[in-house]
Amino acid sequence: MSDNGRPSYTLARMIAGFLPFADAASVELPLSRLLRLSLFQVSVGMAMVLLSGTLNRVMVVELGTPTWLIATLIAVPMLVAPFRALIGHRSDRHVSALGWRRVPYIWFGTMLQFGGLAIMPFALLLLELQGRFELGLVATAAAFLLTGTGFHVTQTAGLALATDLAPEDKRPRAVALLYVMLLVGMMISAFVIGGLLIDFSPTRLVQVIQGAAVLTMVLNIVALWKQEARAPERTKPDPDAPSFGVLWNAFVKDGRNARLLTAIGIGAAGFAMQDALLEPYGGEILGLSVGATTALTGAWALGALLGFMYSGRALGRGADPLRIAGLGLVAGLNAFLLVVFASPFGSPTMLYAGALLIGLGLGLFSVGTLIEAMALAKSETAGLALGAWGAVQATCAGAGIAVGGALRDLIAWYAIAADPAAATATRATGYTSVYIIEILLLLAGLAAIGPLVGRSKTSTNSTDSAGQPFGLREFPT
């Protein structure tokens, strides 16, 4: 039978037809190997669903923990985020007796993820015990920090490894494909974990989280197997290698780079403030179950996957990546309007549609800014460039999560204090106020990214917009 008749060939054609950025495959990095490498992103997506989705709902509704405290715990892993550029740089320059640069960092990150998830359910259960709340709080913060540190290290080094393996013309699309797999992992994890926790019990929670810990190890070991070749030149330090400070100063000295990072930060914060609020909003205001609210994260991930699919096709037709990012911000504006009006209309359907559209907007925004950031990455500094993108995005997202949770509690407390017999609409005030702030941030993101549109480094290097004022004037409406 010819190659064209083999089932494996037919399956590959189907994957290439439906999976965004499947054309990132090359002779050096075939699609099967790239998809296997992407399994580390699936494990990261699973951890993200647990931290910012399922567990925050369980702690707020089932365990009665204050929302501001949960938002702070979710933001704890973001303490590591500002160091992603440094982590990427260290993996660029890592000296190993085995001749590996990226593998030691990915493995170390995997161990941290596993350790954090292994102790997390017991730390959460301590929060319920009489007289053990403080101990439970410390243990939970440590578990969140370990897990978050692990996936930041794993993701930074893993994306840099993909950049090393892919040929130069395929690197942006290869990294984008890995982010598609992150969203696939989040979507599948959200539905599976939500289904397993429909009949919630502490024992079931322990089983689910520890199962996720074991699965993290399995996925990451399979992802790493025989991916990075050993190189003898990496067994000795290079005395002439520039320091992190020198490379970072050169990177941010370009005013256009600084402006791009500013736009990324504003947009990331605008999309992320709802991360710790969407599921509790569905549970407290609309009365949805644990499984139903976890499905909100699945809807969000599905929307983000659709955003990746659209952006992949648009970029294949030569679209400006920053124009796609701006389109994502516009989608986000409409998404938060749907979420705000879900409460007065009492409509779970509007909430699900809003979650889907939030994911769509974030997917478009992430792809556009990632492709633009990848234009700055070279093989020897891939870790630094990708780390800078990830550091700004994750740091601002973490700050947005923490501020969003605190504002929700503060505004809700003030509203209910003014009327002790507050109706559901009044209790929703804290949530909707945060969503309105997110709308304003996304408008600011449009203002920041507008002057960069049409001047993408992926298409031209002739124009520098560093000296142009913030504004929407040049953003295509």
How far apart (Å, rounded) are the C-alpha atoms in residues 152 and 13? 33
pTM as predicted = 0.69
The reported pLDDT for the residue numbered 214 is: 93
The reported pLDDT for the residue numbered 7 is: 52
The reported pLDDT for the residue numbered 60 is: 67
Q: Report pLDDT digits (tens) over 415-466.
A: 666 665 555 456 678 888 889 999 999 999 998 888 877 665 554 443 444 4
How far apart (Å, rounded) are the C-alpha atoms in residues 63 and 111? 28
Spatial neighbors of 290 by CB under 8 A, at least 6 apart, are 54, 57, 58, 61, 62, 194, 197, 198, 200, 283
Q: Would you call 5 exposed, middle or buried from its count of C-beta atoms within 10 A (0-12, 13-18, 19+)?
A: exposed
Q: What is the DSSP string of 78-122?
A: GGSGGGHHHHHHHHHS---TTS-SSHHHHHHHHHHHHHHHHHHHH
Q: Which residues of the chain have pLDDT under 50?
A: 1-3, 8, 379, 424, 459-477
How far apart (Å, rounded) are the C-alpha atoms in residues 90 and 157? 9
The reported pLDDT for the residue numbered 467 is: 44
Q: Report pLDDT digits (tens) over 65-119.
A: 776 777 677 777 777 777 777 777 777 776 666 667 788 888 889 999 999 999 8
Q: What is the DSSP string of 394-414?
A: HHHHHHHHHHHHHHHHHHHHH
Helix (H) or strand (E) holding 335: helix 321-345
Which phi and psi (to 5°) does residue 377 adopt? -90, 130
The reported pLDDT for the residue numbered 69 is: 74
Spatial neighbors of 424 by CB under 8 A, at least 6 apart, are 285, 343
How far apart (Å, rounded) are the C-alpha atoms in residues 376 and 258? 12
Q: What is the DSSP string of 256-317?
A: HHHHHHHHHHHHHHHHHTTTTTHHHHHHHTS---HHHHHHHHHHHHHHHHHHHHHHHHHHHT
Give, as one character, the DSSP assignment of residue 58: I
On whether the CB atoms of residues 374 and 175 are closer than 8 A, the answer is yes
Spatial neighbors of 65 by CB under 8 A, at least 6 apart, are 59, 127
